[in-house]
Amino acid sequence: MKKPSKPPIIHHPWKIITDRFDPAFIPAYESIFSIGNGYMGQRANFEEDYSGPHLQGTYIGGIYYPDKTRVGWWKVGYPEYFAKVPNSPNWIGIHIQVGDEILDLAKGQVTDFRMELDMQTDVLTRELSFRFPSGKDICIQSQRFISMHTKSLGVIRYRITPINFDETIKISPYLDGGIKNSDANYGEYFWDVQQILTGQDHDAYLIAETRKTRFGVCTGMQNRFYVNGKAITPPKITIKSDKKITFDYSIPLRQGDILILEKYAVVTHTLNYPYDQLQDENREILKKAAGNGWEKLLQNHINAWKKIWETADVQIQGDVAAQQGIRYNILQLNHTYTGHDPRLNIGPKGFTGEKYGGGTYWDTEAFCLPFYLGTKNKEVAKNLLLYRFRHLPKAIENAEKLGFSGGAALYPMVTMNGEESHNEWEITFEEIHRNGAIVYAIYNYVNYTGDESYIRDYGMEVMIAIARFWAQRFGFSKPKGKYVLLGVTGPNEYENNVNNNWYTAYIARWNLEYTLDWIERLRIEHPEHWKRIEKLTGLRPDEIQHWRELSANIYFPYDPERQIYLQQDGFLDKEIRPASTIPDEQRPINQHWSWDRILRSCFIKQADVLQGMYFFENHFTRDSLKRHFDFYEPLTVHESSLSPCVHAVLASALDMDQKAYELYLRTARLDLDDYNAEVHEGLHITSMAGTWMAVVQGFGGMRTFDGQLSFRPKLPKAWTSLGFKINYRDRLLRVYITRQSVKIENLSDKPVRFRLFENEIHLPGGEHTELSFQKHNA
Amino acid sequence: MKKPSKPPIIHHPWKIITDRFDPAFIPAYESIFSIGNGYMGQRANFEEDYSGPHLQGTYIGGIYYPDKTRVGWWKVGYPEYFAKVPNSPNWIGIHIQVGDEILDLAKGQVTDFRMELDMQTDVLTRELSFRFPSGKDICIQSQRFISMHTKSLGVIRYRITPINFDETIKISPYLDGGIKNSDANYGEYFWDVQQILTGQDHDAYLIAETRKTRFGVCTGMQNRFYVNGKAITPPKITIKSDKKITFDYSIPLRQGDILILEKYAVVTHTLNYPYDQLQDENREILKKAAGNGWEKLLQNHINAWKKIWETADVQIQGDVAAQQGIRYNILQLNHTYTGHDPRLNIGPKGFTGEKYGGGTYWDTEAFCLPFYLGTKNKEVAKNLLLYRFRHLPKAIENAEKLGFSGGAALYPMVTMNGEESHNEWEITFEEIHRNGAIVYAIYNYVNYTGDESYIRDYGMEVMIAIARFWAQRFGFSKPKGKYVLLGVTGPNEYENNVNNNWYTAYIARWNLEYTLDWIERLRIEHPEHWKRIEKLTGLRPDEIQHWRELSANIYFPYDPERQIYLQQDGFLDKEIRPASTIPDEQRPINQHWSWDRILRSCFIKQADVLQGMYFFENHFTRDSLKRHFDFYEPLTVHESSLSPCVHAVLASALDMDQKAYELYLRTARLDLDDYNAEVHEGLHITSMAGTWMAVVQGFGGMRTFDGQLSFRPKLPKAWTSLGFKINYRDRLLRVYITRQSVKIENLSDKPVRFRLFENEIHLPGGEHTELSFQKHNA
């Protein structure tokens, strides 16, 4: 797909709007205006035919297909397949025909056009005027939503008005199972369409199974018609083919008539129902939905979103672009994951595209968890953790494939079902720091929520298995007299197969220490739990002893002259020069430089040492943080969307306000402004959580280290106020920062303690505190 | 293809024989009994139909197809395609039908079977008895050769005798252009069959073009029949399809009759003729060949081989397996490359299989050149050098793709036409030591032949372009105060993206020094040539100055305690343990260990530091060589077929006779005994030259450093004598080593000087010298 130029999006605090029709932008619009509800998602494809370049995309959470791996040179340990979310049967499609002419925006003249995604209600509306080649003019309005109230339901309201003619219009809602993944490695089709059934009430069902994995999916539709506000039941012709069912309705219209089709669609699948009940369950939901009708369903949907916005909204005054950007990120995160099912997770593109296959990366633990901790009740974050807990046996198998033993676990780089999907040795086998983030997420959850029961019920097994991995993965260097970590790739993927990557070694050591600490605590505080875990894992005292010895003797590369930790062995043998010396036309370097050139340069893709200092900010002095930031940030090209947010948080903490704001801007509207000219491939969902982090932890200055909530807020110059809410240990707090003051309200009925700058505050339920900056700065 | 167990090959000094028919061995036989003449080659496929697992393979030198690259994760700089020798139209095929039954050795009973490749005459003979399911018995003898006299010609003599029945036999020679490459990345078909033509004399022509590259190939056949020794002209039915032409002949036979079909086949192509003359040229050669007949053509072929063996034969007494092995290697090297055309080169599998695509690797310069220098006149080795000279503009382009400039050249890792085909970043972009071998080959040729004109006419341009590459590729390390080589892969591909690989840095420094030396010499000795080269290359004085400074300040990792150079930075941080500690069931480690585990281990795939010490043995003291050998060889798993030979030569030099012999055995019969259970994929052609090296440089102790020929011969205990010939500076010498003495004859009419052990010898033409070991050791 050719890269379009930037799609024009109109600024608005609550709406995403475009009014420009241009075939070059359609693939980008399809991503930007995507909708979803965590259960399923839909690109903003047109309901009617469209023959221009675009990517038809309907995706269902938790369903995957094992696509045969494409690899140049096979290495032992590579997975046989890459598990991908399959592009699923199309439920939105409606063919429209007027006379001999099929409605296709690529074949005629679009004289007026507007798409609008209302973020408050999460309804996608499209309005347009169209002139057929014959000169006939029509007006179309389509509205649709995927219900946040009834997860399996999508509803479309499609309105047609003939402007300058009287004629019978053929309108043909359909279900199509003949959809292919654009990212299929060998062009394979991922589905078997098993049954196509029709019901008694203009309803139809397409039952398809994924090949190999045999996930069953039933997609149902039911149709209702209105002319000029009056319900009609036009005659129906049913057309079935191997993979598609269409109902043809021919409806005579006069100039100015308003024809409305309400298409109700329901997706049920075998993650939730037995295969042989898929159709019955689908029919029931469909029947109820059609009975309720558009208005009632919409109200339920809006109410559900109201609850989400109540805790998740971030309010920025004085900068409508920033306001739009942050709300858009929150919206799309909720499209992707709502935490209702521990079998689901967050793909880097959510349900908005096929790149990266929809699998789970360390993005979830490292970047997304804080957003869900902060904006939802703790069960949601817990479900993200349970996802990994459920995959522990597969992580142990994965480590065994790479030669580890004794219950050591290596979590996969990319996964859908716990098995590794990734196949690039320097990442699949060497980017093992991902194990560290799994434990960090446990810490983050327990520390943030105070729910220590998670450790004994689930976390400890994972922590022990990961500690076992580290214990085997470190080697002992005789010349250094220390334990070393050879042949790894850090978060900075612009270095491969390096020795002693500081971040990986540091988080590994912390994993060991955290695990050892909790073993001690459980032994004393919950001996019965500890006995069970000891038995279950077969953990031996000599293992614990080895972990102690290992964690106390790990080698970290260090430069005494600059007083900084080095990203890896030999880093200073490189020519050190700032990224600003790279000519613009060579950026991004990963699109212009050969890989070896990137590797031997000093340039950093995303936070690496600084990622560690972000996670463990409380381990370092401010001076040390500043030295490391000043050394590493200028070398960083931020060519991962996950990079600027971490730097923005650190820059805020270091009072580098201008830098923090610049870095924040790089992610906040990444997709809306299509900075990287790649939004047509899908949205950068996981980095959207990083934007939230940059606001709440960066400008809000919120920290929760060691169970101590604290804030050091500051307002970017461009804004007049910033407000956000935080759910912390079951207390809902509202933070409101203006140029003059910061106000923190405790919206719960329980007291909360926190530190605001240097002030220790104890805030009873329902009360608020306000600190004027003047006073603080005085 | 399932790996067969070892194919049974009978020991014989001049013949490769098997007498066991087993479908499991057929793919291996097809490789082992391959024939060729440097112009084209043919796997030992059966002429008649064979429905069992096998790989039909006909290959033509210099013809290639750009197969779309298969890669998991694209990197900037990767080539779009991998140039492959296409599997070419089949000229050997003959369908045989008796009644309703088609002759197919997989569908009936093979009651007697023998295949024999006579290495002296290079004729492949197959004899068998076969019982059809109906009970009819026939005897078959097929003989074929690809003419070493008339390069475009192949001849088959196919004999059938009905044993227990009288019946009309249908015998149908054909040409088939519908052959696919088994290694095609996307299953594509590489050819367009353009024309199928018939002539007046039982001749037919199939003209095909490779897709994309449009190489035209005309394959012609002409057929002659004899019954009981009497020529016959049976009636012919012509059957043409899109890609195939068949002549059906029905010939009534009685029990005991001998039917012979002589099938003459000629391959002409557009590397040698214009497209529109392909058929005419083909017809002329075919007509002449058929006129000459089998016996005369065979005699010409045998005479051509007699000349090859006269200088190339190595004679081993007392060990028939070793004798067979070394002759087999010499035979197959001559099948692959005879030096008649500088556009051709030596693929790792020659014409015997499709693995590695048939392209040129550094194997040619590093391993094959000595064989061709030693056994042929110097034009042959010169053609190998000219191949790279012709590719210089492409090597400069290749370097530009990776960000180099100013006429710097990086020769490709794998190539057919000078462009890079390889796509694995750690090799394609980082295994840059291959540049070093290109210059080493120039040195080797000039030093060995004394032909210094090569430097001024061709070599200097290549050397300057490569020096320019090194000058840009080294960086300066401030902490080390030296020039460093970051992010490389050495010959030991079990280390990737390492810093300061000693071998690469050492050969790079030597490249620079050798180039600087020759610049000085040319300036003084051939100023007019130098002026031309200076102008042509635009070489500036500051470049030369930089090369001097760089070459004098290169960093080499060194361990002062062990007094050895380290393979790369940080090598001693690994756990150092001998390869003998790896359990047998985990060998070869590249089939059992994940790549990261291999990388962080100390185990070495093939000579790396020791490869350098082999090339530059004269730079090191014997003590130093011994220290390095004793450290590195035990860590070496020899999982490249190119590894044992280098170690065998060094072990011989270090008087580690038992070790040298063990290492020699690992390559000498690698394919005949199918050590690695992979011979079905094709033969290890380039490592066969290493076996020759192990004999001549190892046991023969021949060296040519600094224009000084010398010998330190020794006879392995298992042998009673070893004899070989060497063409050195246009003098043919014969070396004959027995337990008692070594005898060196000067078979030329010009005098030669050499050192035999410590003795300086001046041997006039036609004379010989003999040294008794008793005397020498006394």
Helix B643-653 × helix B622-632 angle, to 10°: 140
Q: Is A771 left (phi over 0), alpha (psi -120 to 50) or beta?
A: beta
Contact across the interface for A569 and B572, Cβ inside 8 Å: no
Query: Helix, strand or coil for residue B662?
Result: helix
Contact across the interface for B599 and A487, Cβ inside 8 Å: yes
Contact across the interface for B71 and A69, Cβ inside 8 Å: no
CA distance B287 to B293: 10
Q: Which of B403, B592, B600 sits opposite A76 (nearest CB)?
A: B592
How much is the pLDDT for A508?
98
Strands B710-711 and B752-756: parallel
Closest to B573 in 3D by CA, of B605, B604, B601, B607: B601
The answer to whether residues B361 and B437 touch, using CB atoms and an 8 Å cutoff, is no
A260 to A157, A218, B1, B108, B742: CA distances (angstroms): 7, 25, 61, 73, 103
> Would you tell me how many other CB atoms lie within 10 Å of the CB of residue B252?
12
Closest to A361 in 3D by CA, of A457, A431, A262, A267: A431
Residues of chain A below pLDDT 50: 1-4, 778
Q: Which of B72, B573, B597 sits opposite A70 (nearest CB)?
A: B72
Interface of A with B in 417-446 (CB under 8 A): 423-426, 429-430
CA distance A729 to A541: 35
What length does chain B have? 778
Q: Which helix (H) or strand (E) holds A438?
A: helix A434-449
Tokens of A421: 């999907």
Among all residues of chain B, which has the CA nearest to that of A472?
B597
Is the backbone peptide bond immediately before A588 cis, with ω within 30 degrees of 0?
yes
Residue B577 at interface with chain A, using a CB cutoff of 8 Å: no
Q: Is B426 left (phi over 0), alpha (psi -120 to 50) or beta?
A: alpha
Closest to A60 in 3D by CA, of A42, A33, A74: A42
**Cβ contacts from A onto B, under 8 A:** 129
Angle at the Cα of B764 (from B759 to B770), degrees rounded to 5?
45
How much is the pLDDT for A356?
82
For B751-771, write each residue's pLDDT tens digit: 999 999 999 999 999 999 999
Residue B682 has pLDDT above 80, yes or no: yes
Q: How far is CA B572 from the centre of its chain?
A: 36
Selected residue of A562, A596, A602, A603 to mutate for chain B interface (largest B Cβ count, 10 A): A596
Angle at the Cα of A414 (from B574 to A356), degrees rounded to 5?
125
Contact across the interface for B575 and A476, Cβ inside 8 Å: yes
H helix intervals, B669-720: 685-693
How much is the pLDDT for A776?
59
Number of continuous H segments (helices) and E segments (strands) in chain A: 21, 32
**Residue of A281, A365, A419, A493 marked catalytic:** A493
> Would you tell me how many other CB atoms lie within 10 Å of the CB of residue A146?
28
In this prediction, residue B1 has a pLDDT band, given cuts at 50, 70 and 90, of very low
The answer to whether residues A104 and A48 touch, using CB atoms and an 8 Å cutoff, is yes
Q: Which of A499, A575, A594 sits opposite B570 (nearest CB)?
A: A499
Residue B4 has pLDDT above 70, yes or no: no
The answer to whether residues B768 and B762 touch, using CB atoms and an 8 Å cutoff, is no
> Would you tell me how many other CB atoms lie within 10 Å of the CB of residue A630?
13
Min Cα separation B120/chain A (Å): 39
Q: Is B707 left (phi over 0), alpha (psi -120 to 50) or beta?
A: left
Q: Which of B484, B572, B590 sits opposite A76 (nearest CB)?
A: B590
Interface predicted TM-score of the whole assembly (ipTM), two decimals: 0.93
| Secondary structure of A529-549 in HEC code, one letter for each residue | HHHHHHHHHCCCHHHHHHHHH
Kindly give, in sequence order, each residue whose CB lies less than 8 Å from that of residue B273, ignoring residues fewer than 6 positions away.
B281
> Would you tell me how many other CB atoms lie within 10 Å of the CB of residue B31?
26
Closest to B39 in 3D by CA, of B80, B75, B85: B85
In this prediction, residue B777 has a pLDDT band, given cuts at 50, 70 and 90, of low
Contact across the interface for B69 and A72, Cβ inside 8 Å: yes
In this prediction, residue B775 has a pLDDT band, given cuts at 50, 70 and 90, of low
**For all residues of chain B together, what is the average pLDDT?**
96
How much is the pLDDT for B666?
85
Closest to A304 in 3D by CA, of A262, A343, A338: A338
A475 to A469, A505, A770, B601: CA distances (angstroms): 12, 12, 54, 10
Kindly give, in sequence order, each residue whose CB lies less than 8 Å from that of residue B320, ignoring residues fewer than 6 positions away.
B11, B12, B13
SS3 content of chain B, % helix, strand, coil (to 5): 35, 25, 40
In angstroms and rounded to an integer, the radius of gyration of the C-alpha atoms of chain A is 27
- B17-31, B180-194, B240-254: the lowest-pLDDT one: B180-194
**Residue of B48, B281, B461, B493 marked catalytic:** B493
- What percent of chain A has pLDDT above 70? 99
Q: Which of B72, B499, B597 sits opposite A423 (nearest CB)?
A: B72
Which residues in chain A are contacts of B489 at CB distance < 8 A? Answer: none
Query: Helix, strand or coil for residue B115?
Result: strand
Contact across the interface for B573 and A477, Cβ inside 8 Å: yes
- For the beta sheet containing B710-711, the strands, ordered from the edge strand earlier in sequence to the opposite edge, are B710-711, B752-756, B759-763
Tokens of A81: 């397949």
How much is the pLDDT for B776?
59
Burial of A753 (0-12, 13-18, 19+ CB in 10 A): middle
- What percent of chain B has pLDDT above 70? 99
For A215-233, write each residue's pLDDT tens digit: 999 999 999 999 999 999 9
For A353-376, write each residue's pLDDT tens digit: 998 888 999 999 999 999 999 999
Min Cα separation A540/chain B (Å): 25
Closest to A721 in 3D by CA, of A710, A736, A706: A736
A734 to A308, A325, A698, B487, B617: CA distances (angstroms): 15, 20, 16, 51, 76
Residue B240 at interface with chain A, using a CB cutoff of 8 Å: no
For B594-635, write each residue's pLDDT tens digit: 999 999 999 999 999 999 999 999 999 999 999 999 999 999
Residue A597 at interface with chain B, using a CB cutoff of 8 Å: yes
How much is the pLDDT for B676?
81
Residue B699 has pLDDT above 60, yes or no: yes
Contact across the interface for B73 and A424, Cβ inside 8 Å: yes
Rounded-to-10 torsion of CA A396, A397, A402, A408: 20
CA distance B665 to A509: 48
A518 to A461, A498, A550, A680: CA distances (angstroms): 11, 31, 17, 46
Tokens of A553: 């003797």
The residues facing A105 across adjacent strands are none
| Higher pLDDT, residue B778 or B552 | B552
CA distance B229 to B664: 48
The answer to whether residues B70 and B424 touch, using CB atoms and an 8 Å cutoff, is no
Residue B592 at interface with chain A, using a CB cutoff of 8 Å: yes
Q: Whole-angstrom distance between the N-terminal and C-terminal Cα of chain A? A: 57
B154 to B50, B92, B266, B711: CA distances (angstroms): 21, 9, 6, 41
SS3 content of chain A, % helix, strand, coil (to 5): 35, 25, 40
B493 counts as catalytic: yes
For B335-360, write each residue's pLDDT tens digit: 999 999 999 999 999 999 998 888 99
